[in-house]
Structures are given as structure tokens and as C-alpha cells.
Chains A and B, each alone.
Chain A
């Protein structure tokens, strides 16, 4: 007999007409009892006896009403309303408890939801492209993670590969050595430095990105010297053109050349977020796949779309074979050895371990929250046992009491979750606006449906966990015993359970502390790394020659003049130029010592820096031997270079490199004139490879120029002075672009800082919760044993005895928790191994510090109740007996 809609409606309306129907029922039952009583009187009972008998036959007046009401209405709804009202009332009585509980659940849920939002965006959600699961990143060498020259592929190799492969529906690329702020936009307002990425014609179609306005690039525009067109990013279009749709088809002036705007990309496409974390790309323009660009060497970063029926393994196998074939056909050119990774792994793969650790940490925090709350709830049930007993005596079934307890805990956790959601909204908003962190996809972190679902799950889950423990307690309780007990006191099992909960809290907190400690110490080690340059008191500014300087001589003239002017500023110690700053972009050229033979595929390579004289001084890179470059190293003089110590060791182990000859790409032969210290160029954590410094006047490959100035002037003064000094020779120079060198370092360590900050936050939260847990348990036991303590003191125990007994008990609990925590932590630290730097996972300092911190916190948390206990006046508490 399924319940019909009409019946539900009648039940619902019955729930609403409760009072009237109850009156009706009262009258009906009263009539029943009287009719029955009359019958019994007729059988010879006394009226009182008859009435009692009638009630017994009925099964109790209140019970009958209850059964009737349940049948009449929707009992769950009725009792829910009742329970909610009751819960609100009882929580109002205990406002401190309620506020505290809601607050910790809020913080726990908030942390959970925020971390999950980040995790969801970076690891779970598909990339914002069409069929992202078929997109792969194609790197030329798997080991060259940081080194773009190692990953990139020559245009000719791409064309061969694209034509011959059978696994990919298409392969596209972008020019990997685009410069951030390479392009200057003029006309219609202040000149502005923009970042543009050259992409192959099929780049957007392959990703499935449709321009929001306008069209894709045409084949004609993607030819060498084809018509100049650009595609605007959504953000740039909104910012510079105020979202004007008419900009499509118009001409804008970039580097003093007219470019037609072909289209505007949709807001969902954020190149920087995926391919270049932390960078803002303003425009895209066609990159011709032609003979001319082929000559530039390895330049392209490739992405491919695997055909749906082809597996990753098949595609990889074919790619290796094709790569070998193609490489053999061009023995004297760059080889092709395509390594495939799924694009989403390429984007967030490196962050995965860190994020998973954060997820675990937040899970542990949630466990501590639960343990803490369970403890509170236990204390509360203990205090309410009498109330429950009374309710049971009045006819409340066990199921009903459990429902009541669950309603209460669910109400608490729901309020907490709501608060947590508010925190999460705030946190995700904050995170998505963090520009200082160099993490992919961060700007699209937000609270979405999945996160809301998670929060709901957490709320219900913790609600049930919290409610169920006291409910079990209830199931075991004996009505009589509870009623006859005199006050609020817990059973022996209670004490045991509470102790266990606190121990587990401390253990969890210990694990978190060790984890956070290890990462913090690694972070400090990273910051302590010998950078090879001195970031303090140095600042940098992009000063690329504008398009009015055509020839090398003209450009060098401009740069010379810029250097001369900046050096003239009072307070400037040194000024130099470099084409690629440390911790920024990089490229390698193959180089070899003259007179040595290298196998073709194992030719040494070195990072290239094209610099002016005095760059070393401005950057604070020590010159170890020989001489710095000078103004006199010109195209007419002997080609020279400086090399770093690693390169010296690599090319001429055990020999003096000064005066030796290097064979390389830029000039046929160069003489080594100086040896300089190694610079951490790729990342703080990574040793630098071979590096060479080539004088700017002897190299025509001059893409971009950064001015580096070392000065004791305050940064703001320096930056204004430098810009004003350069204005006459570079009027199109945008304002406010000078950056302290320290910012480069900050940026490079930002992902690590992100993890360290979050994890330390969790550890601190865990510590607070654990100390509250200890405090709660100890002060509860002190409260319960007030009389015992009073008697002890009356019998001559000193304040000191009492205090030390309590503090010792606290320390005992803490020590046990810590022991378990340390064992767990040492088992788990292997998981963080990949994130550590300069320390081992078993770092004794970290473990010791964590243990010390925990013990101190525990001692403090135990001391407060101990002090209170020692102030117990034996007389008063004995009299209370």
C-alpha cells in the first residue's frame, strides 16, 4: 500500500491543524475511558478501579495520543520541529558551549572547504578546454623541467612530426621564448608594456577556444611576413578598451607598427594561469611555421590532441619512433625526442604532492575538531544524564532521545558549517586574488557546487559522529542509577574515553606540527640558499630599445647612453644590463671546449646571459678569476666571454680556463676571460648548470634588456630618478615598472611559501584545539574531584602536591599523545620527502621542537585547572558534602 499524494496532503494539513485535532482526540479518548469505566463498574468494580483498569486497557492516555498523532501527521516533521525548538532552547542556556562549538566547526569546515576548493580547481576539475582529457604536453626532453630550451622543439621537427604521426588529431605550439612585457602599445593613452605570445595558427582551434568576438587567425596571417594581426585577451580588452566590441577590425599600434585586431578571446581562456603561472598575457599573434622560424632552433612549446581511440601509451610509443626517425634525417640539427604528459599533469603535476599533503593536513584538523567536540559533547551528556533520565521516565523512547540528541548536534554542526562557508568564501576570494603566488589556475579558485556539497557532507557527518557517541552512551545507561545519582558526574568509562580523545588530539596535532615544522625548516633553508647574487639594494627595469633603433650599432648606442645616464645618478653604485634575469626565463646554447670531441647527442650546453660590463657588480655576482667584461669588448675586438665555475669544471676539469677557447652558437670562437660564481638561475632549490656571460656588444641576438641598478637610495627614490633620467632617450618607457630584485626571489619561493603558510596555520589551529581539549579534560576532572582534593588538603596535602599531581597527569596524557604522534609522524614523513630541502624527513631538530612545543602547551593547559584546584578551600568543599 503505497502512500498517495492526497494522503500526504491530509497528513501535512493535520500537522498544521494540530491544536484543533488534539482537542478532538482528547475528547474522544476521554469518552473512551468513561465508556470503558462504565462497563467495568457494571462488572462490579469500584469507580476508581474501573477507571484505572480502563486506562491500562487503553495502554496509557499520553501514549495513545502519541501513537495517534504519529499516525495522523508526519511524525518526523512534528518531532523535528519539536526537537529543533528544544535544541535551540537548551543551547541558549549553554551559550558558551554553543558559540565555542560553532566556532571550531566553522573554522574546521572553512579550512576544509578552502583547501578543497584549491584542490578541486588544480587537481580535479578538467582544464577549461574542449575534451581536456585528450590534450597532451609534448616536451623534447623529460628531464629538462625548468629549462625551456630543453623542452622546446624546432619548427621543422614539428612540421615533420605533425605530418607523419597517426596518433594525434592535431599538434600545435606556441613560441616559448615570448617575453613578458616585450611589446609596447602606443597611441590612445599612456604607452604600456604588454606581454604577447606568438602561437601557431591551430593553437586556439586545437584547444577548442573560440574567440568571443571576431575570428581565428587566417592561414595568410600565419605566413612569414604576413599581415600583422593580434588576438586580445579578455582581461586586456576589458581594461584597455573598456570592453568595446568595435575594437575588432581596428588597428592598434604595437612597437610602432600597425596591427589589426582579429578577435577577442573569451574570459574562460587564461593562458598565464595554465602555461605560465603568475604571468598576465595581453595578446596573441600568429607564429609562422616557416623556413625562417625553423632557423631559430628549438623555439616551440608543443601541445597535442590525441585521437579519442588512441591511448597515451600508443601515442608515446609512436612519438619515440617518429622522433628517432626524424632526428636521423636531420643529423646536424636539433634532435626530436617527444615526451608526452597529459596537459593537466603538466600544469599541476608538480603541485600534486604539496596539495595532497595540505588535503591530509586539513583532514587531520577536521579529525581533531571532531575529537574535541566529542569530548565537549560527552561532558554535556554527562551533565544531562539526569535530564535524559527524566525524559525517559516520562515516556520518551530511546529512539526518540537519540533523535533529539542528533537534532541538537546537527543543528550545531549546520550552524558551524554555515560559518565555515562564510570563511571559505572569504578565503577563496583571497586566494583567487593572490597575485604574489606563482601557482597555476589560482585565479579560478572559488566555492562551487562541489564544495557546497562537501560542506554539507561535513556538516551532516560531524553532526552524526558528535550525536551518536552520546547516544550510544544513552543506550547503555540505566534509568534508575541516573535518577538516583546526585549530580552531574560521569562514569569511569567516560573518563577513559575522554582521556583517549585528548591523547588522539595531541597525537594528531603532533603529526601536523612535525609536518609544518619540516616544511618551515625547508623553507628557511631555501631562503638561506647561496643565491650567487645579492638581491638587497638592487632593482631592475625593462628598457628594451624602441623600434626607432634599427641596427645593432644604434641599439648598442642607446644602451650605452642609458647606462651612462643611470650611472650618473648620485647614489647609484653600479648599473648593468642583462637579457635574462635570474629566476626568470632561460635558454641554453650548446658549447664545447675547442679541441675536444663530444658525442653528437651529448654535446654540453650552457645557459646564456648576454650582459653589459658592470652587470656582475650591479647584481652582486662575485668575479672569481680573470676580468669582468668592459666597454671595449666590441664587435671589432676579440670575441670573449665569462663562464661560471660549474662550466669551468665541466669543460676543463682541473685546468685553468682563463684564455681557453669555447666553440658555440653565437660566434665561432670565444676566449674565456673571467670565471664568476654560480647563480641559482632556475630555482632556489636547484643548482645552476653551466652558465656563460657574453658581452652585449659582441652579440646580435638581443631580444630584451633589463637594467639592473645597485644603489643605497630608497627604492621609491631610485625608481623615480632612474625613470626620469631615461625619459629623454626613451620617451615611450612606461612608468612604474621598476622592481626590487628581492621581488624575483619572493616570487620564486611563493609556491613553497603558500604551502608553508597554510600548513603552519593548520598546525597552529590544531595546537589550539588540542590545548583546549587538554584544558577541558583536566578542568573537568578537577571539578569532579573537588571533594577528594578538599579531603586531601584537609589531611595535610600542600598546594604544591595538589598542583603537581594534576600537572603530572596532564603531562602524562600529553606524553602518551606525543609518543603516538611522533611514531605516526615518522611513518608519514616519507610523504613529504619531495617537498623537503636541506633536511631529512627525520630531522631531529623539528621533532624535538614539536615535542617541546606540545609539552609546553600541555603544561600550560594543565596548570590553569591545577591552580584552581589548589585554591579549593577544604572547609567549604567538605561542608558542601
Chain B
């Protein structure tokens, strides 16, 4: 059996979406979901439906914009792209996550933790 999938931490989905849009440009909701799953190597538990809740939230904060367009196979779909304010937010978020993961790494690497465990 595979390891159980990771639950998404509060706020991580927003950063993933912003990062995806920042690197890949304009994408529709399904595209974003697929991309995140692929990059994560199918390790996270993602209800694709929740993407849409995150998208509308980001849109309301003015970090992404949306417009209807046509997909490569001629389907009407809503395309999202990151805004200037979105990029600024992404920079801030990336810095935050980096710092957090640094700290977590250091804390978990603290000598003695294994003995106790």
C-alpha cells in the first residue's frame, strides 16, 4: 500500500495556484489542478473542486484575473492569469514558506530528537 496522501496545509493551495500561474501563464481550472497533481507526484490529496473555491478567493483579493477563452480542443473554459499584485503576494509567500521550511528543517534536525523517539 502507498503512503496516505498529504493533507493540504491552510493557505498552501493558494501559493501553489499562484506559483503555477506565474510559471505557466494563463490556465483553466482543470489545467491548474492537473499541473499541481503532476508536480506533487500525486502525493497530495486534492479535491479538484476546492481549486474553484481558492480561485474565486484569489480573484476577489485581486491577485489573479479571469476571462473566458477557448481550449486547445475548442472548449469554452475560464482562463486565469496572475496579476501584478498577485506576483507581489507570491514573492512574499515564497519567502515566508522558505523561512518556515528552513525553521522546520532545523527544528527537526535537532540532535536528541531521535533518542527520545
Interface residues of A, dominant DSSP: helix
With beta carbons under 8 angstroms apart, the residue of A31, A39, A57, A59 that contacts B78 is A31
Interface residues of B, dominant DSSP: helix
Instruction: Note all chain B residues with C-beta closer than 8 A to A32.
Output: 28-30, 33, 48, 52, 77
Interface contact B60-A28, CB-CB below 8 Å: no
Instruction: Note all chain A residues with C-beta closer than 8 A to B56.
Output: 68, 71-72
Interface contact B30-A67, CB-CB below 8 Å: no
The interface centre, meaning the residue of A25, A28, A59 with most chain B CB atoms within 10 A of its CB, is: A28
Interface size of B in residues (CB-CB distance below 8 Å): 25
Instruction: Note all chain A residues with C-beta closer than 8 A to B53.
Output: 64, 67-68, 70-72
**A6 CB to nearest B CB, Å:** 8
A34 in the interface (beta carbon within 8 A)? yes
With beta carbons under 8 angstroms apart, the residue of B11, B31, B61, B77 that contacts A7 is B61
- Measured in the bound complex, the distance between the Cα atoms of B57 and A4 in whole Å is 12
Interface contact A58-B54, CB-CB below 8 Å: no
Q: Given that A7-B60, A11-B60, A58-B47 are contacting pairs, would A34 and B52 also be in contact in the complex, using a CB cutoff of 8 Å?
A: no
Instruction: Note all chain A residues with C-beta closer than 8 A to B57.
Output: 71-72
Q: Which residue of B lies closest to A3 (CB)?
A: B61
Interface contact B29-A28, CB-CB below 8 Å: yes
- Measured in the bound complex, the distance between the Cα atoms of B78 and A38 in whole Å is 17
B23 in the interface (beta carbon within 8 A)? no
Instruction: Note all chain B residues with C-beta closer than 8 A to A60.
Output: 49
Instruction: Note all chain A residues with C-beta closer than 8 A to B31.
Output: 35
Interface contact A58-B49, CB-CB below 8 Å: yes
B50 in the interface (beta carbon within 8 A)? yes
- CB neighbors of A among B1-24 (8 A): 11
Interface contact B48-A35, CB-CB below 8 Å: no
Interface contact B75-A34, CB-CB below 8 Å: yes
Interface contact A67-B77, CB-CB below 8 Å: no
B71 in the interface (beta carbon within 8 A)? yes
A89 in the interface (beta carbon within 8 A)? no
- Measured in the bound complex, the distance between the Cα atoms of B58 and A72 in whole Å is 10
Instruction: Note all chain B residues with C-beta closer than 8 A to A59.
Output: 47-50
Binary CB contact string for chain B from 51 to 67 against chain A (1 if under 8 A, 0 otherwise): 01110110011100000
- Measured in the bound complex, the distance between the Cα atoms of B48 and A64 in whole Å is 8
**A608 CB to nearest B CB, Å:** 87
Q: Given that A64-B49, A68-B56, A71-B57 are contacting pairs, would A38 and B73 also be in contact in the complex, using a CB cutoff of 8 Å?
A: yes
Interface contact A31-B75, CB-CB below 8 Å: yes
Instruction: Note all chain A residues with C-beta closer than 8 A to B28.
Output: 31-32, 35
Instruction: Note all chain B residues with C-beta closer than 8 A to A57.
Output: 48
B88 in the interface (beta carbon within 8 A)? no
Interface contact B77-A35, CB-CB below 8 Å: yes
Instruction: Note all chain A residues with C-beta closer than 8 A to B71.
Output: 31, 35
Q: Given that A68-B56, A72-B56, A72-B60 are contacting pairs, would A35 and B30 also be in contact in the complex, using a CB cutoff of 8 Å?
A: yes
- Measured in the bound complex, the distance between the Cα atoms of B60 and A34 in whole Å is 26
Interface contact B52-A25, CB-CB below 8 Å: yes
B99 in the interface (beta carbon within 8 A)? no
- CB neighbors of B among A35-83 (8 A): 35-36, 38-39, 57-61, 63-64, 67-68, 70-72
- Measured in the bound complex, the distance between the Cα atoms of B52 and A7 in whole Å is 17
- Measured in the bound complex, the distance between the Cα atoms of B59 and A72 in whole Å is 9
6 A-B contact pairs sorted by A residue (CB < 8 Å): A1-B11, A35-B30, A35-B71, A60-B49, A61-B49, A64-B48
* A residues adjacent to B (C-beta < 8 A): 1, 4, 6-7, 10-11, 14, 24-25, 27-29, 31-32, 34-36, 38-39, 57-61, 63-64, 67-68, 70-72
